[in-house]
Amino acid sequence: MAETLQAIYVRDYEARSQPKPHIVYRVEVHAAVRTWSVWKRYSEFEQLHARFTELFPDHPPPQHLPAKHWWQSTMDNPELLEERRAGLETYLRGILSHRDDRWRLTHEWNEFLAVPAGRSQADLFTGPAPHSFTTESWLEEFRTLQGLAREVRSLINRRETHLGRSEISASHNCTIQSKKLLTSLGLRIPALENGLMSLAMGTPGGGRKGSVMSDGELRRRQDMLSELKDEREVLTKLVVANRQNDGVVGYQGAGSNVPASSGDRNALLAGKSGRMPNPRRVFGRVVQNLTQETSQTRGLDNEGLLLLQQEQMKQQDDHIEQFNAILQRQKHIGLAIGQELDNQNQLLDELDRDVDRTTLKLGLVNKKIQKIN
């Protein structure tokens, strides 16, 4: 499974002399859990573009490469180099953000950006055997599963973005990928739990007899594992809660997969009373000012709404903590600036006094010179 790319930047460039003078551009790639950089020449961008044109002759990349300057060199021209850098960044980001992912699914794209291949599909669902864990490999596997959970949350956020743009196919792909990763988590977390039990009952050397780790470390890892399991449950509910959309509702009874008609759907929703229910939920008790549903809440049940509210409140708390940390840093910076200003004012006062003394002495010397003359 390859990394899920989130952003690409062409940060800067530098001149190199080997094998002959040329310019290379630093491409910075941001994935879900890591960031790396690759250095590429303009000719390598041309080769990538030519390969895309060869693979998809009827669908060229959404952006054009910056044109060559045939009558002037870019080696010693900062303006042309900056113009080319910005054009290359626009080219890569256009491919990354385009709704058509045919270019991003090619081997050439992943090789150009040096995207880590990651685990195979079999390794994704199996992971290490429980009895093979060491204290270090257990932590490594735990961090891997944490990365999978973060990637699932990222896919859920991207799915909501696609739904807001009415991009049903892209939203469905995000749901499928998130379900695969959740399945992998469900299969590998028990192995991680069994591995921790094996370590707890392993060779002597820990805090208890027959344990390879202390009691405190064992409890800490158990708490980490519990948090990961809770996170998986929350993600599973978020994925399943919004699996329905506003499109056509299919009838799946008795092995049938025939889409239901509007009359069947109305009859189903009407029930015994024969009246259609109010399609809008009321948020709050003020009936006169009903809060309208959004595309994010329309497909959720009450439990899904509660989870969504808790998630948003958690995000708001995290933002408040970040703002608090920023304000604390600004406070310390302000105090440091105030102290520096006090020191500078003290130095200015001393300089002013020295100037006054020097002026007084200079006046006395001038008087003596006038007496001599």
**Is 89 in the same domain as 159?**
no
**Is 186 in the same domain as 236?**
yes
Confidence (pLDDT) at 298: 61
Both tokens of 264, joined, read 């069947």
Q: Is residue 290 part of a domain?
A: no
What is the full DSSP assignment across 69-84? -TTS-STT-HHHHHHH
Q: Is residue 368 part of a domain?
A: no
Question: Of 112, 137, 155, which closes a domain?
Answer: 112
Q: Is residue 344 part of a domain?
A: no
**Is 92 in the same domain as 135?**
no
Which CATH number do you get for residue 82?
3.30.1520.10
Running DSSP on this structure, what letter comes out for residue 132?
G
**Is 187 in the same domain as 207?**
yes
Strands 22-31 vs 35-41: parallel, antiparallel or unpaired: antiparallel
Q: In what order do the strands lie in the sheet with 5-16?
A: 5-16, 22-31, 35-41
**Is 74 in the same domain as 156?**
no
**Is 54 in the same domain as 104?**
yes
What is the extent of the structural domain holding 13?
5-112
**Is 74 in the same domain as 150?**
no
**Distance of alpha carbon 105 from its chain centroid, rounded?**
20
Confidence (pLDDT) at 165: 75
**Is 100 in the same domain as 152?**
no
Q: What length is written for the chain?
A: 373
Confidence (pLDDT) at 273: 46
**Is 98 in the same domain as 30?**
yes
**Is 34 in the same domain as 142?**
no
Distance CA 163, CA 246 (A): 10
Tell me the chain's radius of gyration from C-alpha atoms: 32
Q: Give the count of domains, the chain.
A: 2
**Is 130 in the same domain as 156?**
yes
Q: Is residue 223 part of a domain?
A: yes
Confidence (pLDDT) at 129: 65
CB 85, CB 10: distance < 8 Å: yes
**Is 127 in the same domain as 104?**
no
* Mean pLDDT of successive 10-residue stretches along the chain, which has 373 residues: 78 84 90 84 92 88 84 75 91 90 85 74 57 79 87 84 76 82 85 82 46 76 89 87 46 40 48 47 49 63 77 85 86 88 89 91 89 83
**pTM recorded for the entire structure:** 0.38
